[in-house]
Structure 1
Amino acid sequence: MLTPELQQKPVTIGFREFVALMALMQSLVALSIDAMLPALTEIGKELGASQANDSQLIVSFLFLGLAFGQGIYGPLSDTTGRKPSLYLGFALFLAGGLLCLFSTDLKVMLAGRFLQGLGLAAPRCVIVAIVRDQYEGPQMARVMSFVMTIFIFVPAIAPTLGQGILMVAHWRAIFAALLACGLITLVWLATRLPETLPLERRIPFSLTRIKNAIREVCSHRVSIGYTISLGLISSAFLGYLSSAQQIFQKQYQLGTLFPLYFAVLALCIGGASFANGRLVMRFGMQSLSRWSKRISTVLSLLFFLYVLSVGGLPPLWTLMAYMMVTLFCFGIMYGNLNAMAMEPLGHIAGVGAAVMGALSTLISVPCGILIGLSYNGTVIPVISGFTISGILIVIVMHWIESAPEKRIMDSDSSE
């Protein structure tokens, strides 16, 4: 049930435009990652990467910037409002894009990617707070699922866009295209979205307040537990994302067909997010998340044993079938875990979203890098990542649900 405070001043743009703008800002992260994938090998060779796996760092360093950046924008958005924080993030993203565009070695490229990630942390973090300003509980999960549905279509087409650019231009043109997308999004944000955090709900900047808020988030079993679960999901996904180009283009020798196979898997996540937006009001966040984690974990364990039995080189169709089901389950869980982690944090939505995002990303980045750099010409490292993360998610979510004081979120009434 929405509180009067949340109902008093909804965004004045239409619901569809609101969801589309949130999705576009969120999609800049995916576009900045996935459009690069077909070009990773070429970029690594031109910029002097010493080992083939080093090219994966072009993806990983953006995530590293995301992890550090999210600790900045949440508290800032609680103090200055949501839009000024987004403006700062876009400025850093555009500066990082220029650095990448004119880079001459891998170190400069990685510095630019880190700066891009630092900037993209703003929409990644503040979008959750903007939605939380307007909605709560299953309603928030529904909005986030629709945002994720649109967002996930971007990774479905981004590698194809990157591949298309490579066919007619240098890989640097990909960064030029990202700069153009960033500018278009910034103009849309500045001219159409009203500020969602009114003056009376803003909180003066205080290091003590931030420290207390972080303590509150980290001591709340529901918030910290679901945040850790999000980090574990992202760990497995980042490991897959970092290795996808090598697995499909090199191991399975798909060449320019790689974007097509990547798109199929991305659409599975998008389809899951869309389905979740339709189902969450009927079945509840916990029930959907619970069944998704069970199915994905059992399937991952069985497929891991199968992969070991075939020497880490399963037929392509079996890998695709496994990944489609697993990523569909992850898509169901992602929006729900975000909403459930934010449920107790409405009064500190900005810093709460920041701590959630920073902590989950700090969990996922080192684990994802480890999985990616472990690539050895087989899918064993990637499938191991999904299996281990699934088992750990089961343990963490059991710990959350075993709390006697836990509020049962599925009892929230539907609007």
Structure 2
Amino acid sequence: MKMTAASASSKLGERELVTLMALLMSLQAFGIDSMLPALGVMAEELGAAGNDRQYVISSYFLGAGLGAFFPGAFADKFGRRPVLFVGLASYIFLSLACAIVTDFWWLIGLRLIQGISCAGLSVVPAAIVRDHVGGDRMARLMSLIMMVFLVVPIVAPAIGQLILMVADWRVIFVAMAVMGLGVALWVWLRLPETLTEANEQDIQPITILRNMKEALAKRESVGYVIGSALVFGSLFGFLNSSQQLIAESFGAGDYFALIFGASIIGMVLANFLNSRIVEKYGARRVGHAALIGFLLVSVVQLWSARSEEQTLWEFVPLLSMSMACLGFVGANFGAIAMQPFQHIAGAASSIQTSIRMTTGAVMGALIGQAYDGTAGPLATAMVICSCLGLACILYSERGKLFRAPGEARRYMQMHKNY
């Protein structure tokens, strides 16, 4: 018999739940950000030309997006724990496989497969949180999770750079496997099953398709999914080109890890602040304000990038402000998009994560490949993505932004069958 969410909560307190969910999600971030300082060395040793080095990042993103279609349905049938263990085992094994590869395109293929097989690590945590709570409280917990999670993107490039100082770049993949093993042991010992019998779903294809169709059919949700996918696509574009942009364009390769970490700190602070204010002001008010803020900062970044000689000290503060806005956007938009789907939390998390990751991966690859030695293509993409994202939110909200929490609940009740 499966545990209820209430009994799961009694074993796993809120702090431990937040930390463990953050670590599960951070395995994906570590598998990307720890690679960044080593991209140039990898490209040189394995014979990758020009911007091809970016495929080490974008292939993983694309695989994670494609793979995210499947774990939610299995998690709604067999439970959260089995899907997590499949993802963790794949993460460990394929990290070790990447460590011994000798051909660049074999590495890209393994990274794509790793992203597909480990997608559950991004999908299932949101379903587990939704098993416990919903609404603005879920937004608060997701902010706390993101705050802990974002410690990894800050320190991962530094870990990668430290490894490069004393060992081969392949040891970074070994470090990934070790981290995955540690998290797997924690899940095995402490995480109970949170899927209740009442919410268990059939694994029949017709059921999976029906649940995914439901997750995409609700107007109050789909705009937030696509809107956040577009906005975060510009972040993926930065991740793809960050090593070239910081190390080559601005000539600060020795300080890459420090600069990259500094750009993420704004996102950490935003999630901390969001966890304190979202239940008072509501996920919509905070998220909408953050998206508009992201658009305004992006316009300034574009103006700066089009100047004759943009400096690192102009680029980094603006980027950090953009990341801070994304910190508010991610947790709040994700919670709003998941709100109608407690009964199919796994399937909804799957399809939403897949859309975000796949869209982000494709856009990130396009933005990265447009790198021309300046921050211009990235800044242009940020402006375009934020404008399109705002249009998507206006669609979901029927043209009205900044709804108060009570008004938002009445809106969802009025349109729940739309």
Name the TM-score, length of structure 1 as normaliser. 0.94
Aligned to 2:342: 346
What is the correspondence of 1:381-396 to structure 2 with a 5 Å cutoff? 381-396=377-392
Structure 1 position 217, deviation (Å): 1.6
Residue 344 of structure 1 aligns to a residue whose secondary structure is: coil
In 1, distance between residues paired with 2:8 and 2:52? Answer: 49
Give RMSD over aligned pairs: 1.8
* Counterpart pick for 1:375 among 348, 352, 371: 371
Residue 42 of structure 2 aligns to a residue whose secondary structure is: helix
Aligned to 1:23: 22
Aligned to 2:12: 13
In 2, distance between residues paired with 1:89 and 1:216? Answer: 26
Q: Does 2:288 match 1:290?
A: yes
Contact 2:220 2:396 in 1 (8 A): yes
Structure 1 position 293, deviation (Å): 1.1
Aligned to 2:278: 280
The one-character-per-residue Cα deviations of 1:28-73 (angstroms, maximum 9, x if unpaired) are 1111100000000101111111x22100100001111101111110
Residue 10 of structure 1 aligns to a residue whose secondary structure is: helix
Q: Does 2:139 match 1:148?
A: no
Aligned to 1:214: 212
What is the letter of the counterpart of residue 401 of structure 1? E
Q: 1:61 to 1:91 in 2, by over 3 A?
A: same
In 2, distance between residues paired with 1:17 and 1:384? Answer: 40
For structure 1, list consecutive stretches of 5 or more residues without a partner in the other structure.
none
In 2, distance between residues paired with 1:87 and 1:347? Answer: 23
What is the correspondence of 1:14-413 to structure 2 with a 5 Å cutoff? 14-49=13-48, 51-308=49-306, 310-311=307-308, 313-402=309-398, 409=405, 411=407
Q: Single out whichever of 63-72 and 294-303 deviates more from structure 2.
A: 294-303
In 2, distance between residues paired with 1:398 and 1:412? Answer: 14
Percent same amino acid among aligned pairs? 33
In 1, distance between residues paired with 2:378 and 2:406? Answer: 33
Contact 1:93 1:118 in 2 (8 A): no
Contact 1:230 1:334 in 2 (8 A): yes
What is the letter of the counterpart of residue 13 of structure 2? G
Q: Single out whichever of 160-169 and 355-364 deviates more from structure 2.
A: 355-364
Q: How many residues align?
A: 405
Contact 1:236 1:382 in 2 (8 A): yes
The one-character-per-residue Cα deviations of 1:315-336 (angstroms, maximum 9, x if unpaired) are 2111112111111011111000
Structure 1 position 305, deviation (Å): 2.8
Residue 194 of structure 1 aligns to a residue whose secondary structure is: coil
In 2, distance between residues paired with 1:253 and 1:115? Answer: 34
Contact 2:130 2:342 in 1 (8 A): yes
Structure 1 position 98, deviation (Å): 2.1
Residue 158 of structure 2 aligns to a residue whose secondary structure is: helix
Contact 2:305 2:374 in 1 (8 A): no
In 2, distance between residues paired with 1:286 and 1:410? Answer: 11
In 1, distance between residues paired with 2:205 and 2:404? Answer: 33
Structure 1 position 119, deviation (Å): 3.1
After the TM superposition, list the runs of 4 or more consecutive aligned residues in structure 1 that deviate by more than 6 angstroms: none
Residue 402 of structure 1 aligns to a residue whose secondary structure is: coil
In 2, distance between residues paired with 1:170 and 1:11? Answer: 45
The one-character-per-residue Cα deviations of 1:258-290 (angstroms, maximum 9, x if unpaired) are 110111111111111111111101111011111
For structure 2, list consecutive stretches of 5 or more residues without a partner in the other structure.
410-418
In 1, distance between residues paired with 2:249 and 2:10? Answer: 48
The one-character-per-residue Cα deviations of 1:88-144 (angstroms, maximum 9, x if unpaired) are 111221222122111111111112211221233111000000000001001111111
What is the letter of the counterpart of residue 69 of structure 2? G
In 1, distance between residues paired with 2:13 and 2:71? Answer: 26
Name the TM-score, length of structure 2 as normaliser. 0.93
Contact 2:237 2:364 in 1 (8 A): yes
The one-character-per-residue Cα deviations of 1:228-261 (angstroms, maximum 9, x if unpaired) are 0121122100000111111111111112211101
Contact 1:247 1:379 in 2 (8 A): yes
Contact 1:137 1:412 in 2 (8 A): no
